Structure 1
Amino acid sequence: MKKSKRTTPKAKPPVAAIGPPTVQAAITGIGEISSAAEKTEAAGNRQGAIELYRRWLSENNSPSAWVIWFNLGVMLRNSGDAPGAVAAYENAIKINPLCIHARINIGTTLETLNRADEALAHWRTALQQLDLATAPPADLLCAVLNNLGRRLEIAQRYTEAEEMLVRSLRVNPKQDAVLYHRIYLRQKQCAWPIYDPLPGISEEDQRNATSAVAMLSITDDPAIQLRTAQVQGPSKVPSNIRRLPPLAPYHHRRLRVGYLSSNFGMHAVSILTAELYELHDRSRVEVWGFCWSPEDNTEMRARIIRAMDHFVRIKDMSDEQAARAIREAEIDVLVDLQGLTAGCRPAIIAMRPAPVQVTYLGFPGPTGLPEIDYVLCDRYIVPEGSARYFPEKPLYLPECYQINDRKRECSSPKSRTEYGLPDDAFVYCAFNNNIKFTPEIFAAWMRILQRTPGSVLWLLADNEKAKENLGLCADQHNVRRDRLIFAPRVSVADYLGRYAAADLFLDLFPFNGGTTVADALWMGLPVVTLSGRSFASRMAGSLLLSFQLPELVTETLADYEDTAVALAHDRDRVAKLRQLILARRAISPVFDSPKLTRQIEDVFFEAIGKALPISREDNAPMPNVQAGVAISPQGNAFVANAPFRLLVEGWRGIAHSYALVNQYQLFAWANQPDIKIFHRDAPFLLPRWSEPGQKSGLPSHYDQKLRALTPWHGEAHDGVFRIHSPFNLQPDSAHRVATFMVTEMGLNPDDVNRLRPLIRPYQDSGGLVVTPSRWAKARLTDIGIAQEGIFVVPHGISSDIFFPLPVNQRQAIRSSLGFNEGDVIFLNVGAGFWNKGLDVLVRAFAHVRHSAPNAKLILKDQTSIYGVSSQRMVIDALHETKLPSAGDILKDIRVIGSDLSLDQLRELFNLADYYTSPYRAEGFNLPVIEALACGTPAIVTGGGATDDFCHAENSIRIPSKLHSNVTLAGHGLATYLEPEEGALIDILRACIQDSPFDRQQRLYFSDLVATQFPWSGISATLAHLLTRRGLL
């Protein structure tokens, strides 16, 4: 389960942090050492930065030295020196006992040293200090409370843990991870209702924060489970994750099957699968294990390692390193045994290390992870009519899906008296984790006890609070508490021995038992189950039907109760069922593990035969679609008998980004045989765009294909995609609709007032909102669009238009434009609007050019498209610098014409040394990714839209400061970033002196961008969203 994360400040505390006024006033003269140390670390010399801090501390006895001790602690922790970090934080606290940041950090560091009690003590002290403050900072208060809640839960002090989390949520209700953690805690304690009212937090908010695992116990509605997984699965994958580079196809004599898990040890998954690894036919299969669980020194762990041909420990590897290890092993089929359960690492899967990726056993539901191709199941678990609730394609086993271990050890059974059971009672049992209990199933159990006098219910005791709450529930149903008998946790062998003392196993609903039901059947104990609509609610039914016991599989709660009661009144029937189960155990598919292993191998061979090799094409469609389902290269997209008829409403024929994006997508869709395109031209926003002379800039073969599109004249269609402004959120319940919406800073007041009444009806009718970045998504949620209905689908690249030119051709272009060999050219082709930050760029460039005459800047005029003169903006910005050489500098700022073809734009991107965009706000920033595709590195504002695709391998980020909900003239409330002009000046100077990107790096990231963001993959994803949406 995903709990509230450790909260550790990553930077020095602000001057205004809680502390004595005299200390605050004394913080002077340390800025230089902090700046010097930070720059030294940024240059890759962290040890040198540490020594700078230590030297300063040895020579200064300032009352403000606590700041430097704190900074040193952060640096030591980041370098892996936890004891040194603790000592540094302790020194900070000695000087300033009210330094909350240090107390938070020392606690999280002490945890890594297994000194949890000391960590708790520091956080409790911090909480006491914050409680005494007049206005404690909300972020610090929440950080302390969340760490306390997390640590107290680990210590099984659940009531205290929940109190801390509730306090944190009262301070800031907008903490999904904390809400998520609190819901999990309530399930663990059987504290019903799970969704308990909290100020400012609705039941809907709590449902939205419920984990995909927890949702399996709350409802059997597969559509709800899918929606939860679609939100949470992708959210567990970092937005900047990239597929591994293309690799030549590989083939082996034996199929290489890799099992991926953190549960290779004493865990339910290993208890089920241990014999599977042993039984694989080594003449046809080579078995690999990739594990990130700690060594638990159990015999089960040792057995699994012995059973694997290769066992690779990836615990200390990053996700990318782990994915590369799997790729280097040339795994054919990668089996994820983890799903969305605790400790999962879906980013490994997202990098596509294997051509076929399968989910099995660990998570009984849809994962929402687009890179998982198949779910291993049987036709009872996932009937063909329910396959639409799985982005993963069902890979059907012919009989039963669950593998089991026949080598399990069982202790000799004890007498009922030794177990604390009445000798003559009818003993129902339910040895499942209490967290899976629900008030509905527990109420059914109480009604069963009421109808069977003298019976008892034997339960597992997970924790004292759960026992207490279950006792209270029994009181409410007028069932004596002594009829609930709690068994402590014991070894697996002793646990199996218990089943001999029970009469009937009562299964859970909606999250059936899997391992526990198989355990009961192995021991000959009859099981009554209730089957529902979801995977998790049909697991026990699959096992029982494989034993040919349909009479024990019920479909309503009333039948479940009646069956359990009838068996209690017919002990002869129960005894015969025991004999029957034991007799069939040897022949049932449930325990015919050799046969099931062959069947699993067969379907793996079938899947690899259908898969595409790991090649450039397979590497292509890698859009990061949040809250939705991305397309898989194995063809999981919707396939209909007839083409999907898509009406596109948008702009064409101008150089506006909406029109360009629309035309790129139309061109890609026109090449998809399963899509029939109609196009309706939307009215232009500005009259000048309709004037003669406007150009799209597209190559001629694009224009020819686009002109051949069928104009829409009222023909029937299946879906609508809208991409124009003003945004159209008119509901259309008759069609599947997606509207492209993007905003840089937030919508202006007129648009907000116009759209707000339409948002709810549009989303209720099934309408989707598509936006190209996480930044834009955040701005759209600010105006009330439900985030689960917003899908982040990035823009793409046409690699036939934007690509690196040969070195000699690049040099020829530069020379033809009058540039010298040693010139360093910075380029920006954006408009001169305030949010684009060109004024920042011009001023920073002027300061650099003042001392570096080889610095050159190219800008693009936007008069024809926007009526904005870039030349005027340049003059104004230069005037602001007050540099005496401004006139001379102006000669090295070239403003080129606005009517450029895309071929000419490609030449511009290639001739530049750096594409430079110190923007304040962007919805995506298409020119940046186009420049990267041409092999030109970018200098961009950090923290904004470009974070989704700009990283250290292809760009330099400008530090920035976030401004939220700021009132701007003519705009209303806006959110933007202010890039640090001084930092940009330093970056430009450093780039002039020595480029951090060589030719090979540029070619590498160019190829990477082209393969990760092709318009073919982006458009396929959009079509997939529209078509799949109709199946939900």
Structure 2
Amino acid sequence: MCEWSDLAADDIDLAAILAGGQGHQLSPFHLLSVPGISARDQRACSELWTRERRAAALVERGTLAFTFPPSERRKIRLGYLSNDFQEHATAHLLIEVLEAHDRGAFEVHAYSFGADDGLPMRRRLMAACDRFVDITEMADGAAAQLIFDDEVDILIDLKGFTARARTGIALLRPAPVVVNYLGYPGTMGAGVCDYVITDPFLTPPASAESYAESFAYMPHTYHPHGRGTPVGVPPSRAEAGLPEAGFVFCCFNQPYKIAPEMFDIWCRLLSAVPDSVLWLLDDAYAAGNLRSEAIRRGIDARRLVFSPNVSQAEHLRRLQLADLVLDTSPFNAHTTASDALWAGVPLVTCPGDTFPSRVAGSILRAIGLADLVTESPEAYMELARALACDEPRLAAIRMRLARNRMTAPLFDVAAYTADLEGLYSAMSARHRARLPPAAIGARG
């Protein structure tokens, strides 16, 4: 809600909760956006959050008695588990990967516990899978039994600790290998998943102790995004609610990702770049608070332009009107970053040392724009100001982005899927060889 008056006290309370071992009262997802929380803190919170459920799951696993003798199948059977097999950001990221899976080597099952919204994406997702099962009405134990009976080799949890997750299914271990992928940018703690899909920039080998899962390294970025979605013709600035002239800074991240320290920088940029505006996602609670915060920093609140959530197609159309995307920290842009780059708009980011604070940097590196990954908040501010004030420099970056969109790894879904399948094959091979999970893939 961007209500920051008590934020300092709240952060001290969070630290006390973790230090006192009371993290079972604190959602790990919340900690992803809190400044000053380390990856090690996030792991501690995840393990406290699941402590009682892990104990209960251990008892139920004894009753279910799942065993996994070596499979004689030539194909590896993948089971993707999610609430988001519908019109959702995760579906837009993953759909082309599901469609690109090598059906000569893999079978693709989907286990959905989200509503059928009746929209085209749901139908497309169903068509992309060899088997699509709605487990919404099943209890965790029944869903786990179904996945086990389907002889899934690798269960891929796409939700983690995000809204409406069902971690209880993964905790019951209905497949010999369980993977944390895409939906949750962090560790789920001990006893849940064997691997996390990542890349060397996101989680360098030296950070391994902060993650319960073994690292499964993609060579470029963990983040998928295909080339199949048309960008469309942009609307006029007036149609998008923007002034006819002036530089457009943009951030369409959810408001909970906006930290006051980053908003300070954004307001300094507005002050430094005359006639510029800051284009944000509208939110019934946050918009008024952000206007008030801008006024406190000496900025005319009318220079904040709020736009509503729209369909993916309309979002990509309007994004083209932005001049520069400003990333949030410590919870970066994820889908909003790759969407902006696909629409041809550069992004400036400042990574931290946690998974969610490094995602935009990973994405930028995978499209050949590592020079937009800064090393400090001051460098972030200076780079954004320089690009806003130096039209030829920004134009050169936009030209480089336009060239790289069709050649760099970020949007090459065929190569991405082949790399992902290589990780799945290595996981399966380790299991068949009765070897424990261990770091696999390109390690930088």
Q: So what's the TM-score if we normalise by structure 1?
A: 0.40
Q: 2 CA distance for matches of 1:550 and 1:347?
A: 39
Q: CA deviation at 1:238?
A: 6.4
Counterpart check, 1:634 vs 2:436:
yes
Q: 2 CA distance for matches of 1:283 and 1:636?
A: 26
Counterpart check, 1:384 vs 2:205:
yes
Counterpart check, 1:395 vs 2:213:
no
Contact 2:350 2:375 in 1 (8 A): yes
Q: CA deviation at 1:196?
A: 7.4
Matches within 5 A, 1:911-922: none
Q: 1 CA distance for matches of 2:300 and 2:319?
A: 23
User: 3-state DSSP class of the match of 1:457?
Assistant: strand
Q: 2 CA distance for matches of 1:228 and 1:235?
A: 13
User: 3-state DSSP class of the match of 2:409?
Assistant: coil
CA separation of 1:298 and 1:398: change in aligned 2, threshold 3 A: same
2:4 aligned residue (157, 182, 192):
192
2:396 aligned residue (562, 576, 580):
576
Contact 1:449 1:455 in 2 (8 A): yes
Contact 1:290 1:313 in 2 (8 A): yes
1:550 aligned residue (370, 378, 382):
370
1:535 aligned residue (349, 355, 358):
355
Counterpart check, 1:506 vs 2:318:
no
Matches within 5 A, 1:921-940: none
User: 3-state DSSP class of the match of 2:349?
Assistant: strand
CA separation of 1:194 and 1:269: change in aligned 2, threshold 3 A: farther
Q: CA deviation at 1:414?
A: 1.0
Q: CA deviation at 1:192?
A: 1.0
Counterpart amino acid of residue 489 in structure 1: N
Counterpart amino acid of residue 288 in structure 2: E
Matches within 5 A, 1:800-879: none
Counterpart amino acid of residue 285 in structure 1: F
Q: CA deviation at 1:424?
A: 2.0
Q: CA deviation at 1:193?
A: 4.2
Matched with 1:327 is 148
Q: CA deviation at 1:195?
A: 4.3
Q: 2 CA distance for matches of 1:438 and 1:554?
A: 18
Contact 2:344 2:402 in 1 (8 A): yes
Q: CA deviation at 1:237?
A: 4.7
Contact 2:214 2:437 in 1 (8 A): no
1:242 aligned residue (60, 79, 93):
60
User: 3-state DSSP class of the match of 2:313?
Assistant: helix
Matched with 1:225 is 42
CA separation of 1:193 and 1:231: change in aligned 2, threshold 3 A: farther
RMSD (Å) for aligned C-alpha atoms? 2.0
Deviations 1:773-805 (A, max 9, x none): xxxxxxxxxxxxxxxxxxxxxxxxxxxxxxxxx
Counterpart check, 1:211 vs 2:9:
no
Counterpart check, 1:595 vs 2:415:
yes
1:604 aligned residue (406, 409, 424):
424
Structure with the bigger RCO (C-alpha within 8 Å, sep 6+) is 2
Q: 1 CA distance for matches of 2:53 and 2:228?
A: 36
User: 3-state DSSP class of the match of 1:257?
Assistant: strand
Counterpart amino acid of residue 426 in structure 2: E
Q: CA deviation at 1:410?
A: 3.4
CA separation of 1:235 and 1:539: change in aligned 2, threshold 3 A: farther
User: 3-state DSSP class of the match of 2:410?
Assistant: coil
Q: 1 CA distance for matches of 2:318 and 2:393?
A: 21
Q: 2 CA distance for matches of 1:451 and 1:515?
A: 29
Counterpart amino acid of residue 240 in structure 2: Y
Counterpart amino acid of residue 239 in structure 1: A
Matches within 5 A, 1:538-937: 538-611=358-431, 634=436
Higher Cα Rg: structure 1 or 2? 1
Q: CA deviation at 1:494?
A: 0.8
Q: 1 CA distance for matches of 2:16 and 2:219?
A: 41
Counterpart amino acid of residue 245 in structure 1: A
2:96 aligned residue (275, 288, 292):
275
Contact 2:40 2:209 in 1 (8 A): no
CA separation of 1:370 and 1:335: change in aligned 2, threshold 3 A: same
Contact 2:66 2:148 in 1 (8 A): no
Contact 1:259 1:289 in 2 (8 A): yes
Q: 1 CA distance for matches of 2:32 and 2:438?
A: 24
Matches within 5 A, 1:59-208: 189-193=1-5, 195=7, 202=13, 204=15, 208=23
Counterpart amino acid of residue 226 in structure 1: R
Counterpart check, 1:493 vs 2:313:
yes
Contact 2:430 2:437 in 1 (8 A): no
Matched with 1:46 is none
CA separation of 1:328 and 1:462: change in aligned 2, threshold 3 A: same
Counterpart amino acid of residue 210 in structure 2: Y
Q: 2 CA distance for matches of 1:288 and 1:566?
A: 48
CA separation of 1:379 and 1:196: change in aligned 2, threshold 3 A: closer
Q: 1 CA distance for matches of 2:432 and 2:148?
A: 15
Q: CA deviation at 1:555?
A: 1.6
Q: CA deviation at 1:584?
A: 0.7
CA separation of 1:197 and 1:537: change in aligned 2, threshold 3 A: closer
1:350 aligned residue (161, 171, 176):
171
Q: 2 CA distance for matches of 1:255 and 1:346?
A: 23
The runs of 5 or more residues in structure 1 that have no matched partner are 1-188, 619-632, 638-1032
Q: CA deviation at 1:309?
A: 0.4
Q: 1 CA distance for matches of 2:27 and 2:118?
A: 31
Counterpart amino acid of residue 97 in structure 2: L
Q: 1 CA distance for matches of 2:379 and 2:143?
A: 49
1:466 aligned residue (282, 286, 290):
286
CA separation of 1:234 and 1:634: change in aligned 2, threshold 3 A: farther
Between the two proteins, what is the percent identity of the paired residues?
A: 38
Contact 1:232 1:368 in 2 (8 A): no
User: 3-state DSSP class of the match of 1:192?
Assistant: coil
The runs of 5 or more residues in structure 2 that have no matched partner are 440-444
Q: So what's the TM-score if we normalise by structure 2?
A: 0.92
Q: 1 CA distance for matches of 2:338 and 2:53?
A: 31
Q: CA deviation at 1:457?
A: 0.3
